[in-house]
Amino acid sequence: MHYKEIEKIVGEIMPSECKVTKVEPEGLNVVIYVKNINAFYKNDQLIKQLAGSLRKKVSVRVDPSMLADVDGAKKKIKQIISEEAGVSNIVFTPEFSEVHIEALKPGLVIGKGGSILKEIMLNTGWSPVVLRTPTIPSSTLKGVRKAAVAEGEERKKFLVNVGKKICQETPQSDWVRAVLLGASREVGRSCTLIQTPNSKVLIDVGINPVTGESTKAYPYLNLLGFPLEDLDAIIITHGHMDHMGFLPYLYAYGYDGPVYCTPPTRDLMGLLQKDYLDLAKKSLGVEPPYTKKDIQTELRRVIPVEYGEVVDITPEIKMTLYNAGHIIGSAMVHLHIGEGLHNLVHTGDLKFGYTKLFEPANTNFPRVETLFIESTYGGRNDITPNRRQMEEKLLQIIKETAAKGGKVLIPVFAVGRSQEVMLVLEDYYRRENSGFDLPVYMDGMVLEASAIHTAYPEYLRENVERRILSNNSPFESPMLKVAKGTDKKDIVDGEPCVVLAPSGMLAGGPSVEYLNLMAEDERNTLVFVGYQSPLSLGHKIQKGMREIPITGEDGRTKIMKVNMRVETVEGFSGHSDRHQLMAFLKNIRPTPERIFTVHGDWGKTDDFARGIGSMLKRESRAPMNLEAIRLK
């Protein structure tokens, strides 16, 4: 629907006493500015009528000329909201007529049925945006939220431009194709182009974080066939580097459009991409392909989308994000293209099985003709052992190591596996007679990532959400110790303990520093709990390598002997195993007409595709990088 048509419909629906001053598309929303907000609130059906007619998310704001002054508004807001809400910050954004209110208990700022929000708006004119204060302090969240309200004029202009591009009449497309630009028959550098004659959308723009070799580390964007500025949108499924690590590069080289993802994914991008700038130089020996400035530009271009919201991202493509169960904010992408021309789902990384953190991946979609599904553990022999048994195995390894006076090093991804293992250990810590009372040290970005979890408890399992909301967060257990600022050598030389440190594949970061200090002591244990890429140091040690060349303090190469015990405890992965993937496919509704297996090592994608074809009697195959597939 063209934005001029939107203005016309709003004019027909809105009562004259509301005194509408402006109607404009703003990103994914239609924003209506009024001088008389009281008149608008007198008819509680107006907002439903507007949303139904426009088929878009509608926001009604007070015209800037009618807003209360900032000091007076802040004073009034503090009077309206009870102290029990724990308001930590109030920030005004005049360009949007909004006030951002951060609180430990957002429900007390919202009120029953939004009653307090309504009272704030009626008394001050400012539209309240409520944010949850993390229970663990987070510099990342602070920075991201500050950036969201900084440069408001520039952000406003950007969103209006995006909104107007989306609200255009477009000729009917007669074909849809997908071009695989990464993560086909490999794990890493996920990137898929979805293209029609009128739209160009990328799903994920990742890197391969275990190599600095450009031909293997980055997606094939040089073969797009058009300039980066011609892209309409980028969708990021979740906040792992192999899915979003190359995104700032696009802003460095011409792209200036929107990025769509969930709010937690936006925050994790800011955290992990900045860390990669250091990691690339120190561990991979390469110059990063982008700068901190490019990351900041990217974050200003993010338009957050919640699960289940149906939004237009081009004039002909509607997008809906669904829970993928992989990490916090991870999403499966559903695209509805044209007036029923084609529907596809890209799973990103998914978990269709039990975890302590998340509900299993969604399986119900309105329509789906084509499915792109990850295959990390899609091989016929990729069967995860019983979860309960694996938890007991991990605990037993820790007890045996502690009994010898050793320490346990668990390399983890800062996001996902670290929090899952944390919850497992915290569960045993709380049990009587479990025999687990060791300190668990968090190093690197694990603490920041955990803080982000406490800011979005609604994305977690209900029991974990309840604990966070009742000030009993498992991420703040007495057993957890922060290693930041603590000498790693002091921890290694101290009493028995467990260390959770990224990176999960020993591709750099604190986990490698701990390995250097712990490897030669046979009392210690190294436990792998996540996927190890064939290119990674973790994979080499897992497969038996026990002599590792490292660079000493004098700059010379020396051999580090891995005398410590090495174990792999499966069952904690955020990826589905073969059985879970097949169960997901059996449960997906409706059944796709064709399935493409991606994001898996060379043999596994093929093997998985054959298994799917045999089970579902549908077209199923494993495409290769650079392959273009006509979907319609």
Confidence of residue 552 (pLDDT cuts 50, 70, 90): low
Q: Is the pTM of this model over 0.85?
A: yes
Tell whether 142 is covered by a domain: no
Tell me the pLDDT tens digit for each residue of 584-595.
999 999 999 999
DSSP three-state, residue 33: strand
Tell me the pLDDT tens digit for each residue of 14-58.
999 999 999 999 999 999 999 999 999 998 899 999 999 998 899
Burial of residue 101 (number of CB atoms within 10 Å: 0-12, 13-18, 19+): buried
- Examine the domain organization and report whether 163 and 173 are in the same domain: no
List, in sequence order, every beta strand (DSSP E) within 133-206: 177-182, 191-195, 200-203
Tell me the pLDDT tens digit for each residue of 197-221.
999 999 999 999 777 787 888 999 9
Higher pLDDT, 365 or 433: 365
Tell whether 389 is covered by a domain: no
- Examine the domain organization and report whether 163 and 189 are in the same domain: no
- Examine the domain organization and report whether 104 and 159 are in the same domain: no
CB 230 within 8 A of CB 200: yes
What is the C-alpha radius of gyration for the chain, rounded to an integer number of angstroms? 25
User: In degrees, to the nearest 5, what angle opens at C-alpha 480 toward C-alphas 477 and 484?
Assistant: 135
The rounded distance, in Å, linking the Cα atoms of 486 and 541 is 27
Tell whether 388 is covered by a domain: no
Q: Which helix (H) or strand (E) holds 528?
A: strand 525-528
The rounded distance, in Å, linking the Cα atoms of 229 and 250 is 9
- Examine the domain organization and report whether 498 and 547 are in the same domain: yes
- Examine the domain organization and report whether 101 and 214 are in the same domain: no
Window from 109-123, 442-456, 473-487 with minimum mean pLDDT: 473-487
The tokens of 123 are what? 């008394």
- Examine the domain organization and report whether 410 and 518 are in the same domain: yes
- Count up the domains in the chain and report the number: 4
Domain CATH number, residue 447: 3.40.50.10890
Tell whether 596 is covered by a domain: yes
Phi then psi for residue 490, to 5 deg, are: -65, -40
Beta bridge partners of 98: 93, 127
The rounded distance, in Å, linking the Cα atoms of 273 and 44 is 44
Q: Beta 177-182 vs 191-195: how paired, if at all? A: antiparallel
Domain span including residue 473:
398-568
Please state, for a pLDDT cut of 70, what percent of the chain lies above it: 99
DSSP three-state, residue 39: helix
The tokens of 409 are what? 């090093």
How high is the pLDDT of residue 312? 96
Tell me the pLDDT tens digit for each residue of 502-537.
988 898 889 999 999 999 999 999 999 988 888 788
The rounded distance, in Å, linking the Cα atoms of 439 and 426 is 10
How high is the pLDDT of residue 554? 66
- Examine the domain organization and report whether 519 and 604 are in the same domain: no
Window from 397-406, 424-433, 621-630 with minimum mean pLDDT: 424-433
CB 221 within 8 A of CB 191: yes
DSSP-derived secondary structure for 74-89 = HHHHHHHS-GGG-EEE
How high is the pLDDT of residue 507? 82
475: pLDDT strictly greater than 90: yes
Domain CATH number, residue 192: 3.60.15.10
CB 483 within 8 A of CB 497: no
136: pLDDT strictly greater than 80: yes
Tell whether 206 is covered by a domain: yes
The rounded distance, in Å, linking the Cα atoms of 27 and 544 is 52
The rounded distance, in Å, linking the Cα atoms of 81 and 159 is 30
- Examine the domain organization and report whether 485 and 414 are in the same domain: yes
CB 361 within 8 A of CB 352: yes
CA torsion angle for 126, 132, 134, 137 (degrees, to 10)? 0
Mean pLDDT, rounded, for 599-618? 95
How high is the pLDDT of residue 553? 65
- Examine the domain organization and report whether 347 and 421 are in the same domain: no
CA distances from 539 to 97, 355, 551 (A): 53, 24, 20
Tell whether 77 is covered by a domain: no
DSSP-derived secondary structure for 114-152 = GHHHHHHHHHH-PEEEEEEPPSS--HHHHHHHHHHHTTH
Q: Which helix (H) or strand (E) holds 41?
A: helix 37-41
- Examine the domain organization and report whether 19 and 104 are in the same domain: no
User: In degrees, to the nearest 5, what angle opens at C-alpha 255 toward C-alphas 251 and 260?
Assistant: 85
Q: Which helix (H) or strand (E) holds 442?
A: strand 440-442
How high is the pLDDT of residue 170? 80
DSSP three-state, residue 587: helix
Mean pLDDT, rounded, for 101-127? 95
The rounded distance, in Å, linking the Cα atoms of 378 and 612 is 10
Domain CATH number, residue 95: 3.30.300.20
